[in-house]
Structure 1
Amino acid sequence: MSEHTPIGLDNGTAPIRALTHSGNFHADETLGYVILHYALAPQGDLRARVLEAQPGDRLIFARTRAPERIQASDIVFDVGGLYAPAKGRYDHHMKDKPLREDGTPYSAAGLLWKDYGVAAIRNILETPLDDSTVAAIWQAIDKSLILPIDQDDNGVAKMGKLSLADIVSACGPAWDTAELYGPEEARAREARGFANAAVAVASHLVNVVDRARASLKATDRVLTAYDTAEDKRILVMETGMPTEKVIFEHDLPVVYVVSPTGTGQWNVKAVPPVRGDFGQRVPLPEAWRGLEREALAGISGVPDAVFAHPARFICGAGSRDGAIRMARLALEIGAAPPPA
């Protein structure tokens, strides 16, 4: 994160002139623009600002390579040949590239995220959070989104098809646009493409911030439920939420997760042996495979049993107690050893 007060974050309201290069655009500078939008002028029109100056807008944004425009701008990113954050310069194309601690070269978006990411997160969040939680969200997004863009933009590792980088690239005009429609129309389509890409990237950033916030909340709840569990192999959650990530990151010996579905039913889901796998540490009983209601209730002895999936990874009951009973029976039948 920033070791100085970035330009525009000194609680002032003076207009800020930000600039990146014109021409082909990528996830790097598109995300960089979106980060500045949320950090400095989240009330502005993200798309319209790209196409023309908006009266009263704090963030004045331009895409050009004109040296005099670069010189006159307060914040310049992905162009200019200089990384000097105290002066608002965030290029990364120099011979001596700015590097992460692990040696990965930064993209312009990564450099802006260091200085403006926390402010952007705070303006995106609908409910204020404490500094430590915001810092944890910043770190989670830095790892899951910003680092891959650093790697992609610097030729370290491609993000791949249907990634954010691919979606941004698809917003640009086709190579022969100037040939078919003339240079003026090509420039107009390029500007519209960048504006459209910025809207897509902004939507993605807002979503990942909210999901990172929710993930931290889920971690606290899962660990609390585990600490109070009578049998550490059965994790009972009073609200449906992602649990697998926490189970594997904290090496919890959970075999089944019991949670409500939101329709009054409670499910028992088997934890896979490897995160993201389709298998189960302990499959549900073979005798339950594919059965429903009366047939399942008869063979399991759980009166409100509802279903057992043929793949033996999930089953359900009409009540919390019924689902817990199914999980305990499955452990007995599967002979899963209790944790040491």
Structure 2
Amino acid sequence: MELGNIAFTHNGKFHADDVFGAALLKIVKPDIIIKRVAAVPEGFTGMAFDIGHGRFDHHQADAEIRENGVPYAAFGLLWREFGEQLLLKGCSPEDAAKAAAHFDEKFVQPLDEDDNTGCGNQLAGAIASFNPVWDSDEDPDVCFAQAVEFASAILHRKLEGMFSESRAKSFVTEALEKSEDGIVVLPHFAPWKTVLVPSPAKFVVYPSQRGGYNAQAIPETLDGEGVKCPFPLEWAGKESEELQASSGLKTLRFCHRGRFLAAADTLEDAKEACRIAMRTA
């Protein structure tokens, strides 16, 4: 769909769906002007969202519902129209389609569901907090613009994260092909889950921003629920001398109490921590 220079949405109290919808449109077309009105002007045929009972509204009786039962709100309808198109700027067509669907499921749908049902969502609540309080003389349109700026910053970071995952695929795949003993070593951190979660690899090791190396157990699913092989129970929550005595590794200095992350000063100790975990699982 080609966007004109003006888009209309409803005035009054704003919510996450119209705020994120406006933020998305401004990313698609930076010079677009969002006007908040009580009703769409008669005869207007351009973009209107969350108002007017058109393609990008969801208040009509026959409003669309996703196959999984989550109803669309304005943000979801706009993401369905423009999300994959945006992602093609930094992703392959295959990655763009998958990332758009995943983003809809994990980010967009909770906001749409909150708008339609009032079920409660922290991000939606944060957006709602930009509205003027009851005894304020703030201009609601100014507050809306501030909320859109906030939402735009989030969307930009989310999009860049998806672009970076797409760029990382070949880098991580190459490391996977060179891996041994179920341990993938990255010369520096890169988003690895989309490649390594479906793979046979059980651990990934990479330089830590705090110095030394992190050894991380690879989750069983992309949602991060459970890991393929946790670090030993007796290491959980231990640090430095106690951990080194328990593990026999001189530079192992941390193991998360969740048993999915360990840190060591040397690459060899980080890798050996993974080998011990696999031997004792």
TM-score tier, shorter chain, comes to 0.7 to 0.9
1:94/1:283 CA distance change after superposition, 3 Å: same
- Check conservation: 1:225, 1:236, Cα contact below 8 A: yes
* Length-normalised TM-score, structure 2: 0.80
Whether the aligned pair in 1 keeps the contact of 2:219 and 2:228 (CA below 8 Å) is yes
SS at match of 1:20: strand
1:131 aligns with 2:93: yes
1:20 partnered with 2:9: yes
Q: CA deviation at 1:146?
A: 1.8
Instruction: Write the mapping of 1:251-270 to structure 2, written as runs, cut at 5 A.
Output: 252=200, 254=202, 256-262=203-209, 264-270=211-217
Q: Structure 2 matches for 1:274-293, cutoff 5 A?
A: 275=224, 281-283=230-232, 289-292=238-241
* 8 Å contact from structure 2 (residues 256, 262) kept in 1: no
Alpha-carbon spacing, 1:73–1:18, altered in 2? closer, same or farther (3 Å): farther
Q: Deviations over 1:103-128 (max 9, x none)?
A: 43211122222222244446xx6xx4
Q: Can you give the 5+ residue segments of structure 1 that lack an aligned partner in the other structure?
A: 1-5, 9-14, 45-58, 84-89, 178-184
Letter of the structure 2 residue corresponding to residue 307 of structure 1: R
Q: Does 1:307 align with 2:253?
A: yes
Which residue of 1 is the match for residue 116 of structure 2?
Answer: 154
Identical amino acids, percent of aligned pairs? 26
Q: Give the counterpart letter for 1:63 in structure 2.
A: R
Rounded to whole Å, the distance in 1 between the matches of 2:142 and 2:8 is 16
The structure number with the bigger radius of gyration is: 1
Judged with a 3 Å threshold, the aligned counterparts in structure 2 of structure 1 residues 285 and 253 are, in CA distance, closer, same or farther, namely farther
Shift of 1:66: 3.7
- Report deviation, 1:25: 0.8
Match of 2:52 among 51, 71, 80: 80
The answer to which of 128-137 and 270-279 deviates more is 270-279
1:70 CA drift (Å): 5.0
Alignment of 1:1-340 (within 5 A): 6-8=1-3, 15-40=4-29, 42=30, 44=31, 59-67=32-40, 69=41, 71-72=43-44, 74-83=46-55, 90-121=56-87, 128-155=90-117, 158-160=119-121, 162-163=122-123, 165-177=124-136, 185=137, 189-218=139-168, 221-222=171-172, 224-232=174-182, 234-241=183-190, 243=192, 250=198, 252=200, 254=202, 256-262=203-209, 264-270=211-217, 275=224, 281-283=230-232, 289-292=238-241, 296=244, 300=248, 305-309=251-255, 311=257, 313=259, 314-332=261-279, 334=280, 336=281
Does the 8 A contact of 2:176 with 2:196 survive in 1?
no
State the Cα RMSD in Å: 3.6
Q: Check whether the contact 1:238–1:259 (CA below 8 A) recurs between aligned residues.
A: yes
**TM-score between both structures, scaled by the size of structure 1:** 0.68
